[in-house]
C-alpha cells in the first residue's frame, strides 16, 4: 500500500470513501462523497466525523470509537453496518458502511470507511414488504369467499393479520344489531380463546375502551406508542413487547358489522396500516354479502315454507270437496299431508268414550297397515293418566304439540311388542289437533314425524291446525249428509210399507161404510131417523175420503220414484176445469172464481192425473187462505200451450220457499197450523213434468197470497214421457 497512490485509487471507485484518524477527524474524502452526501471533500477534511452523522447517533459513535481505540477489537469490521448518514442539506440518507484500518507511510493508524448508497435498496425492500402484504390480502380475499359464514370470515381475517401481517394478537368481533353489542368470534396470535374471554361480549353504548369508541364513532384508531398509554395494561404491553395497535370498524356504508383489533411488536407505517384497513374492508364486504345471502336464504326458506303451507291446504281443500263419505274425506286428508307435513298421520273420530280410527297413512306405504294395527291393538286409553295426547286434545279442544324421545316411548308402551311397533313407525315429534265442528269436538288428527326429522315449528303447527279445521268441517258435513240420507231412506221405506199396508184395511172400511150408508138409507124415510145418524155417516165418508187421498198420495210418491204410466185422451180443458170446480163441496165451490176462454180448448193429456194436480192446487189455495177469501182459477191458451193459474189471497210464500215447497215432504214454516204431508206439490210437479209441462209458484211474500202456475203442451206424445 505504501507504493501505490492511495488517493488516485480511491477516486476511481464508485463508493464514497471517508478516511479518519484515530481522533475521529476526516483526513480524506473522495469525490463520490459529494455525490452521495452533498459534501465537497475539502469541506470535510479536518472536520469531526459527527458532521456526516445524524445528531442522535453521536453518543453511540463516540462510545464505540473510544472502545475500539482502547481495545483495538475490531467488532464492527468485516460486517456491513446499516445506518443513516447526514447529508450537507441536513436530511438523512440510508447507507451501508464497511470499515477497515490501515497505516500510512508515517505509521499513523487510519480508519477507512466505505459508504454505499442504500436508499434504493431500502425502498425496494419496502416495496417488497408491501407486496407481501398485498399478496397476503389477495389470498385472504379469496379465502373469504370460500365461506358464507361471517364467523368463518373473521377467522380468515385474524389468521391473516397474525400470520401474514405479523400481528402479535388479532381479534374480531361481530356486531349484534338487536342487542347493540359486539360478540368476539375469532382470535389469533397470543391467544385463540374466544368463548369465556373477558371481552367476549361488549356493550357498544357503554364500553369505555378503544373497541367501544371505534364501534360508536365508526372511525379507525391507529396508535404507535403503546408504552405509557394508560388505556392498555402496561405489564402486558411490556411483557409482550407491544408497540402499536390498529383498531378498525368493519362497515357496510355506515352500518356497523364488527370491529377488528391488531397489536404489533413494531411501529405501524402508513403503508402497513393502509394495507390492514384494506384487508379489513375486504372482510367487511364479505361479511355484509354473507349477511345479505343469509337474509335472502332465510327469506327464500320462509317463502318456500309459506308455499308448502298453501300447497298442502290447497290439496286438502281440493280433496275434501270431492267426497261426502267421512272415511274417504279423512283418508284424503292423511294422504294430502303425508309426507309433506308429517311422516305419518291418523284421523280418529270420537266413538263412545274412546276413539275410532277412520284413516291412516305412513310415508312408507308398507307401514300403513302397521299404523292401523297400532290403533287396533293399542287404542288410546280413555282414562289413563297422564292423558294420551289424543284424549288431551279432544278434552281440551286445544292442539297438543310434543317432542318424543325413545325413553318417552319406553314409558308409554304397554308391552315390548307395543314398543317395537312404535319404534318401527317412528315417533320423534307429533302434533295432535282436535277436530271441532259446530262447537263440538268430533275427533282428532295426529300428525307424527319420525325422530330423524326436525320437530314441527310454529308455522307447521299452524298448517296442521288449518288442515284440521277444514277436515273437521268436511267430516261433519259428510256425517250430517250421511245421517240425512239415512233418515230419508228410512222414511221412504216406512211410507212405502205403511201405505201398502193401509190400503187393504181402508178398502174394507170403505166397503163397510158404503154398506152401512145404503142400509141406513133404506131404513124408512129420512125424517124417521134421528138426524144425527145421517150426519155421522156423512162425516165418516168424508174422513174415509181424506184418508184414502192421503194413502193414494203416499203410494204416488213411492210410485213416482219409478216411472209413471200416462193415459192420454183428447178432451176439452174448459169443461174439464168447470167440472172440477163443480165437484167441490158447496161452501168451497162458492169461493172459486173461474176465468175461462169462451171457446173450447182441446188437448191430448192424462185427464185423471191433471185432475189430481188441479185438485191439489185448488185444495191448497182453499186450505191456505181464510174461509171467505176468493180463489181465482184462470185458463188460457198461450201460443199453443195451455196455461192454468190458481191464485189465492192466503198465507203467501216466503221468497226462499217458492222452490223448496216442490220437494217431497217439504212444507213452509208458515203452513204449520194447517194439516198436510208436504207431498201434493212434489207429486204435481212430477206429473206435469212427465207431461212435458212446467209448474211453479209465485208470491209477493208471506201473508200476501200465492199464485200457482202450470203450463202444458196441448198435445202430449205418450212416447218419451209415457210407456
Ligand atoms: P201440504 O199442503 O200437504 O203441506 P203440498 O206439497 O201441497 O203439501 O204443499 C207444500 C207446501 O207448500 C205447503 O206445506 C205450504 O207450505 C206450501 N203451499 C202450498 N200451497 C200453498 C198456498 N196456496 N199458499 C201458501 N203456501 C202454500
Q: What does the buried/exposed string (b/e) look like for 656-673 if buried means 16 or more CB atoms within 10 Å of the residue's CB? A: ebeeebbebeebbebbee
Centre of ligand 1 from the C-alpha of residue 678, in Å: 7
How far apart (Å, rounded) are the C-alpha atoms in residues 276 and 130?
A: 11
Give the number of other Cβ atoms within 10 Å of residue 222's Cβ. 17
Within 13 Å and on the Cβ side, how many CA atoms surround 241?
4
pLDDT score, position 720 = 44
How far apart (Å, rounded) are the C-alpha atoms in residues 215 and 201?
A: 13
> CB of 158 within 8 A of CB of 279?
no
pLDDT score, position 717 = 55
Provide the pairing of β-strand 181-189 with 631-638.
Answer: unpaired
pLDDT score, position 526 = 66
pTM passes above 0.95: no
Query: Which 3 state secondary structure label does DSSP give 152?
Result: helix
Query: Which 3 state secondary structure label does DSSP give 538?
Result: helix
Give the number of other Cβ atoms within 10 Å of residue 65's Cβ. 17
Closest CA to 680 of 704, 653, 708: 708
Give the number of other Cβ atoms within 10 Å of residue 451's Cβ. 16
Centre of ligand 1 from the C-alpha of residue 683, in Å: 12
> CB of 236 within 8 A of CB of 185?
no
Pocket test for ligand 1, best of 591, 660, 681, 696 (most atoms within 8 A of CB): 681
pLDDT score, position 698 = 96
The proportion of the chain whose per-residue pLDDT surpasses 70, expressed as a percent, equals: 96
DSSP state of 640: T
Is the predicted pLDDT of residue 365 greater than 70, yes or no?
Answer: yes
pLDDT score, position 561 = 63
Phi, psi of 292 (to 5 degrees): -60, -40
Q: Which residue has the cell 170403505?
A: 510
Q: What does the buried/exposed string (b/e) look like for 263-302 if buried means 16 or more CB atoms within 10 Å of the residue's CB? A: bbeeebeeebbebbbebbebbbbbbbbbbeeeeeeeeeee
Centre of ligand 1 from the C-alpha of residue 465, in Å: 46
How far apart (Å, rounded) are the C-alpha atoms in residues 30 and 80?
A: 20
Centre of ligand 1 from the C-alpha of residue 663, in Å: 11
Lowest mean pLDDT among 38-42, 67-71, 633-637: 67-71
Is the predicted pLDDT of residue 2 greater than 50, yes or no?
Answer: no
Is the predicted pLDDT of residue 519 greater than 90, yes or no?
Answer: no
Q: What angle do CA 265, 266, 268 make, to 5 degrees?
A: 125
How far apart (Å, rounded) are the C-alpha atoms in residues 92 and 75?
A: 25
Please report the atom of ligand 1 found closest to the CA of residue 676. Answer: 3
Is the predicted pLDDT of residue 474 greater than 70, yes or no?
Answer: yes
How far apart (Å, rounded) are the C-alpha atoms in residues 108 and 205?
A: 74
> CB of 370 within 8 A of CB of 425?
yes
pLDDT score, position 608 = 87
Closest CA to 340 of 438, 463, 251, 458: 463
Phi, psi of 569 (to 5 degrees): -155, 155
Pocket test for ligand 1, best of 546, 556, 624, 629 (most atoms within 8 A of CB): 624
pLDDT score, position 7 = 72
Cα dist. 201→154, 159, 195, 212, 254 in Å?
A: 16, 21, 9, 11, 22
Is the predicted pLDDT of residue 202 greater than 80, yes or no?
Answer: yes
Q: Which residue has the cell 303447527?
A: 461
668 pocket-lining for ligand 1 (C-beta < 6 Å): yes
Of 7 and 697, the one with more pLDDT = 697
How far apart (Å, rounded) are the C-alpha atoms in residues 616 and 613?
A: 5
Length of the chain as a residue count: 723
| Average of per-residue pLDDT across 108-130 | 85
613 pocket-lining for ligand 1 (C-beta < 6 Å): no
How far apart (Å, rounded) are the C-alpha atoms in residues 608 and 524?
A: 38
pLDDT score, position 593 = 96
DSSP state of 591: H
How far apart (Å, rounded) are the C-alpha atoms in residues 71 and 385?
A: 102
Q: Residue 297's Cα: distance from chain center in Å?
A: 14
pLDDT score, position 721 = 42
Pocket test for ligand 1, best of 556, 612, 618, 620 (most atoms within 8 A of CB): 620
Centre of ligand 1 from the C-alpha of residue 708, in Å: 10
Pocket test for ligand 1, best of 554, 660, 671, 708 (most atoms within 8 A of CB): 671
Cβ neighbors of 154 (< 8 A, separation 6 or more) are 172, 174, 185, 186, 258, 260, 283, 287
How far apart (Å, rounded) are the C-alpha atoms in residues 287 and 11?
A: 63
Phi, psi of 204 (to 5 degrees): -60, -40
How far apart (Å, rounded) are the C-alpha atoms in residues 17 and 462?
A: 92
Cell of 135: 399478496
Centre of ligand 1 from the C-alpha of residue 616, in Å: 9
- What average pLDDT does the structure give for the chain? 88
Closest CA to 305 of 431, 149, 456: 456
Taking CA atoms only, the protein residue closest to ligand 1 atom 21 is 620
pLDDT tens-digit readout, 217-275: 999 999 998 988 888 999 999 999 999 999 999 998 889 999 999 999 988 888 888 88
| Average of per-residue pLDDT across 139-152 | 88
Pocket test for ligand 1, best of 622, 676, 685, 688 (most atoms within 8 A of CB): 676
Q: Which residue has the cell 308409554?
A: 412
676 pocket-lining for ligand 1 (C-beta < 6 Å): yes
pLDDT tens-digit readout, 290-325: 888 888 888 888 888 888 888 888 888 777 776 678
| Average of per-residue pLDDT across 604-624 | 92
Lowest mean pLDDT among 204-208, 224-228, 459-463, 718-722: 718-722
Within 13 Å and on the Cβ side, how many CA atoms surround 609?
23
| Average of per-residue pLDDT across 508-515 | 88
Is the predicted pLDDT of residue 718 greater than 70, yes or no?
Answer: no
Q: Assign 125 a pLDDT band (cuts: 50, 70, 90).
A: confident
618 pocket-lining for ligand 1 (C-beta < 6 Å): no
> CB of 574 within 8 A of CB of 635?
yes
pLDDT score, position 585 = 86
Q: Assign 123 a pLDDT band (cuts: 50, 70, 90).
A: confident
Q: Assign 562 a pLDDT band (cuts: 50, 70, 90).
A: low
594 pocket-lining for ligand 1 (C-beta < 6 Å): no
Give the number of other Cβ atoms within 10 Å of residue 442's Cβ. 19
Is the predicted pLDDT of residue 1 greater than 50, yes or no?
Answer: no
Q: In what order do the strands lie in the sheet with 221-223?
A: 201-203, 181-189, 169-176, 255-264, 244-252, 221-223
Cβ neighbors of 71 (< 8 A, separation 6 or more) are none
Amino acid at each position: 500500500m505504501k507504493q501505490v497512490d492511495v488517493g488516485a485509487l480511491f477516486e476511481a471507485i464508485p463508493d464514497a470513501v471517508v478516511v479518519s484518524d484515530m481522533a475521529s477527524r476526516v483526513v480524506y474524502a473522495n469525490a463520490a462523497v459529494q455525490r452521495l452526501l452533498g459534501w465537497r471533500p475539502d469541506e470535510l477534511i479536518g472536520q469531526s466525523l459527527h458532521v456526516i452523522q445524524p445528531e442522535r447517533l453521536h453518543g453511540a459513535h463516540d462510545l464505540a470509537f473510544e472502545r475500539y481505540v482502547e481495545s483495538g477489537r475490531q467488532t464492527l469490521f468485516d460486517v456491513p453496518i446499516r445506518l443513516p448518514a447526514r447529508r450537507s442539506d441536513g436530511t438523512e440518507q440510508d447507507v451501508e458502511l464497511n470499515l477497515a484500518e490501515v497505516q500510512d507511510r508515517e505509521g499513523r493508524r487510519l480508519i477507512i470507511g466505505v459508504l454505499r448508497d442504500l436508499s434504493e435498496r431500502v425502498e425496494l425492500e419496502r416495496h417488497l414488504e408491501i407486496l407481501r402484504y398485498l399478496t397476503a390480502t389477495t389470498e385472504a380475499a379469496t379465502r373469504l369467499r370460500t365461506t358464507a359464514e361471517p364467523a368463518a370470515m373473521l377467522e380468515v381475517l385474524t389468521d391473516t393479520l397474525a400470520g401474514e401481517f405479523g400481528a402479535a394478537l388479532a381479534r374480531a368481533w361481530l356486531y349484534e344489531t338487536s342487542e347493540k353489542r359486539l360478540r368476539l368470534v375469532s382470535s389469533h396470535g397470543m391467544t385463540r380463546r374466544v368463548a369465556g374471554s373477558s371481552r367476549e361480549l361488549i356493550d357498544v353504548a357503554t364500553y369505555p375502551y378503544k373497541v367501544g369508541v371505534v364501534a360508536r364513532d365508526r372511525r379507525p384508531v391507529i396508535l404507535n406508542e403503546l408504552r405509557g398509554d394508560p388505556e392498555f395494561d402496561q405489564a402486558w404491553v411490556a411483557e409482550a413487547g407491544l408497540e402499536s395497535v390498529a383498531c378498525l370498524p368493519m362497515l357496510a356504508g355506515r352500518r356497523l358489522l364488527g370491529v377488528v383489533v391488531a397489536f404489533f411488536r413494531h411501529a405501524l407505517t402508513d403503508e402497513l396500516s393502509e394495507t390492514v384497513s384494506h384487508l379489513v374492508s375486504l372482510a367487511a364486504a364479505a361479511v355484509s354479502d354473507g349477511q345479505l345471502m343469509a337474509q335472502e336464504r332465510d327469506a327464500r326458506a320462509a317463502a318456500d315454507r309459506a308455499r308448502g303451507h298453501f300447497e298442502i291446504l290447497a290439496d286438502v281443500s281440493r280433496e275434501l270437496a270431492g267426497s261426502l263419505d267421512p272415511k274417504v274425506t279423512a283418508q284424503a286428508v292423511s294422504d294430502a299431508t303425508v309426507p309433506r307435513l308429517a311422516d305419518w298421520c291418523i284421523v280418529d273420530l270420537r266413538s263412545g268414550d274412546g276413539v275410532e280410527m277412520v284413516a291412516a297413512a305412513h310415508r312408507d306405504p308398507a307401514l300403513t297397515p302397521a299404523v292401523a294395527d297400532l290403533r287396533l291393538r293399542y287404542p288410546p286409553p280413555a282414562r289413563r293418566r297422564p292423558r294420551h295426547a289424543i284424549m288431551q286434545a279432544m278434552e281440551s279442544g286445544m292442539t297438543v304439540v310434543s317432542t318424543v324421545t325413545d325413553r318417552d316411548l319406553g314409558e308409554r308402551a304397554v308391552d315390548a311388542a307395543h314398543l317395537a311397533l312404535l319404534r318401527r313407525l317412528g315417533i320423534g315429534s307429533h302434533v295432535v289437533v282436535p277436530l271441532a265442528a259446530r262447537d263440538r269436538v268430533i275427533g282428532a288428527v295426529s300428525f307424527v314425524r319420525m325422530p330423524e326429522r326436525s320437530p314441527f315449528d310454529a308455522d307447521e303447527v299452524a298448517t296442521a291446525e288449518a288442515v284440521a279445521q277444514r277436515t273437521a268441517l268436511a267430516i261433519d258435513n259428510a256425517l250430517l249428509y250421511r245421517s240425512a240420507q239415512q233418515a230419508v231412506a228410512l222414511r221412504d221405506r216406512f211410507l212405502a210399507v205403511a201405505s201398502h199396508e193401509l190400503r187393504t184395511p181402508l178398502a174394507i172400511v170403505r166397503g163397510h161404510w158404503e154398506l152401512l150408508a145404503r142400509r141406513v138409507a133404506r131404513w124408512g124415510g129420512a125424517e124417521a131417523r134421528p138426524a144425527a145418524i145421517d150426519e155421522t155417516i156423512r162425516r165418516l165418508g168424508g174422513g174415509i175420503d181424506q184418508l184414502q187421498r192421503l194413502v193414494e198420495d203416499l203410494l204416488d210418491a213411492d210410485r213416482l220414484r219409478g216411472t209413471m204410466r200416462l193415459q192420454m185422451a183428447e178432451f176439452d180443458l174448459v169443461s174439464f176445469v168447470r167440472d172440477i170446480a163443480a165437484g167441490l163441496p158447496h161452501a168451497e165451490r162458492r169461493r172459486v172464481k173461474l176465468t175461462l176462454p169462451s171457446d173450447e180448448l182441446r188437448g191430448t193429456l192424462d185427464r185423471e192425473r191433471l185432475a189430481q194436480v188441479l185438485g191439489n192446487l185448488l185444495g191448497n189455495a182453499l186450505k191456505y187462505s181464510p174461509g171467505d177469501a176468493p180463489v181465482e182459477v184462470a185458463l188460457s191458451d198461450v201460443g199453443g200451450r195451455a196455461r192454468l193459474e190458481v191464485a189465492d189471497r192466503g198465507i203467501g210464500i216466503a221468497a226462499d220457499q217458492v222452490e223448496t215447497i216442490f220437494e217431497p215432504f217439504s212444507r213452509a214454516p208458515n203452513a204449520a197450523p194447517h194439516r198436510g204431508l208436504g207431498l201434493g206439490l212434489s207429486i204435481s210437479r212430477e206429473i206435469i213434468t212427465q207431461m212435458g209441462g212446467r209448474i211453479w209458484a209465485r208470491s209477493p211474500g208471506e201473508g200476501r197470497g200465492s199464485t200457482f202456475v202450470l203450463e202444458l203442451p196441448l198435445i202430449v206424445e205418450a212416447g218419451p214421457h209415457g210407456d
